[in-house]
C-alpha cells in the first residue's frame, strides 16, 4: 500500500496580480489565499503530509497560525525560479518513497473542493500512470494572428483545460521533471516520457487566481461555502 501526499508550490511572486505582497498571501475571504487550499488538503483523510514549497526568503508563512492543520503541514524553504523548479526541489526535500502518490496543487487555486479532491484520489489510486483534474473546453476557440485578427477557428473536440491537483508517483514525477525542466505543469513532463496521464473531470470553480479581477470571484465562491 502506498501513501498519499500533497505538495503545494507557493514560491511565486504573482507578477500578473501586480501587487506588492506575493499573490498567495493576498487577503481572500478574510484569510491569506494559500490558507484555503492548504486547509482543504490537510482535512483530506487520505493525505498524510502536505508539503508547502516556499521561497527561501519567505517571511510571511510563519506569521500565520496553522494549528488547525493538525501537524500535517510541512513548509520547505526551497522554491526555485520557475514553478517546475519549485516542484522539483520540493520533491527532493520531501524524501518521499518512489511509489508514494503525490498530489501537486497550486497555492493559487483556493477553491478546490473536498469533493473533487476525494473523487480524484478514488479515480486514480489504481491507475498505472496517474492524472490531473481538467475541464472540457466550453468556449469556441480562435487562433489569432500577429495583428490580433482571427486566423482560424480551432476545433474544440477533446480539448481540456488542465488544472491541479496533478497526481503522480513521486519517483516517476521526480525523474520526469529532471528530464524536462521547461514545463508549466507536471503532466507535460510525464507526457514527455511517452506516458498518457488520465483526465479526471473537474469544474470551473477550481480556477487559478491570476489577475486582480479573479479575487472577487474566488471570494464569492468561498463565502458561499462557509
Ligand atoms: N510558483 C512557485 N515557484 C515559482 C513560480 C510559481 O512555486 N517560481 C507557484 C505559485 O506560487 C503558484 C503556482 O506555482 O502557487 C502557480 O503559478 P502562478 O499562478 O503562475 O503564480 P505566479 O507564478 O506567482 O504568478 P505570475 O505567473 O503571475 O507571476
Ligand atoms: Mg507563474
Residue 172 sits in a domain whose CATH number is: 3.90.550.10
**Percentage of the chain modeled with pLDDT above 70:** 100
Task: Give nearest CA residue, ligand 1 atom 26.
Answer: 14
Could you read off the pLDDT of 126-169 as tens digits, one per residue? 999 999 999 999 999 999 999 999 999 999 999 999 999 999 99
Structure-block grid coordinates of residue 137: 473546453
Nearest bound ligand to the CA of residue 164: 1
Share the mean pLDDT of the chain: 97
Task: Show the domain range for 9.
Answer: 4-225
Could you read off the pLDDT of 96-123 as tens digits, one per residue? 999 999 999 999 999 999 999 999 999 9
Residues 212 and 18 sit within 8 Å (Cβ to Cβ): yes
What's CA 155's distance to the chain center, in Å?
Answer: 27
- 59 Cα: distance to centroid of ligand 2 (angstroms): 20
Greatest distance between any 2 Cα atoms in the chain = 55
Q: Which of 56, 83, 89, 182 to mutate to test the pocket of ligand 1 (most atoms within 8 A of CB)?
A: 83
Which runs of E-coded beta strand occur in the chain? 4-10, 27-28, 31-32, 47-54, 73-76, 101-104, 130-136, 141-144, 150-154, 160-169, 198-201
For residue 226, the model assigns a pLDDT of: 80
For residue 123, the model assigns a pLDDT of: 98
CA distances from 177 to 129, 169, 171, 184, 193 (A): 15, 12, 10, 11, 10
**Percentage of the chain modeled with pLDDT above 90:** 97
Strand partners of residue 27: 32
Say how many domains are in the chain: 1
Which runs of E-coded beta strand occur in 77-129? 101-104
Amino acid at each position: 500500500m502506498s501513501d498519499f501526499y500533497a505538495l503545494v508550490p507557493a514560491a511565486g511572486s504573482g507578477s500578473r496580480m501586480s501587487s506588492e505582497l506575493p499573490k498567495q498571501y493576498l487577503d481572500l475571504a478574510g484569510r491569506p489565499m494559500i490558507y484555503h487550499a492548504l486547509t482543504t488538503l490537510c482535512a483530506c483523510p487520505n493525505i498524510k503530509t502536505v508539503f508547502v514549497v516556499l521561497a527561501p526568503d519567505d517571511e510571511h508563512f510563519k506569521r500565520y497560525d496553522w494549528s488547525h492543520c493538525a501537524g500535517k503541514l510541512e513548509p520547505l524553504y526551497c522554491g526555485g525560479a520557475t514553478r517546475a523548479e519549485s516542484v522539483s526541489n520540493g520533491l527532493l526535500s520531501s524524501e518521499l518513497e518512489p511509489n508514494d502518490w503525490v498530489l501537486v496543487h497550486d497555492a493559487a487555486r483556493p477553491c478546490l473542493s473536498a469533493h473533487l479532491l476525494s473523487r480524484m484520489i478514488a479515480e486514480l489510486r489504481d491507475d498505472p500512470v496517474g492524472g490531473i483534474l481538467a475541464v472540457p473546453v466550453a468556449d469556441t476557440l480562435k487562433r489569432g494572428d500577429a495583428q490580433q485578427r482571427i486566423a482560424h477557428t480551432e476545433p474544440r473536440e477533446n480539448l481540456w483545460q488542465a488544472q491541479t491537483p496533478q497526481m503522480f508517483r513521486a519517483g516517476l514525477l521526480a525523474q520526469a521533471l529532471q528530464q524536462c525542466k521547461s514545463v508549466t505543469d507536471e503532466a507535460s513532463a510525464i507526457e514527455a516520457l511517452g506516458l498518457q496521464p488520465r483526465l479526471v473531470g473537474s469544474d470551473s470553480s477550481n480556477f487559478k487566481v491570476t489577475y486582480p479581477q479573479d479575487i472577487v470571484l474566488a471570494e464569492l465562491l468561498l463565502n458561499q461555502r462557509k
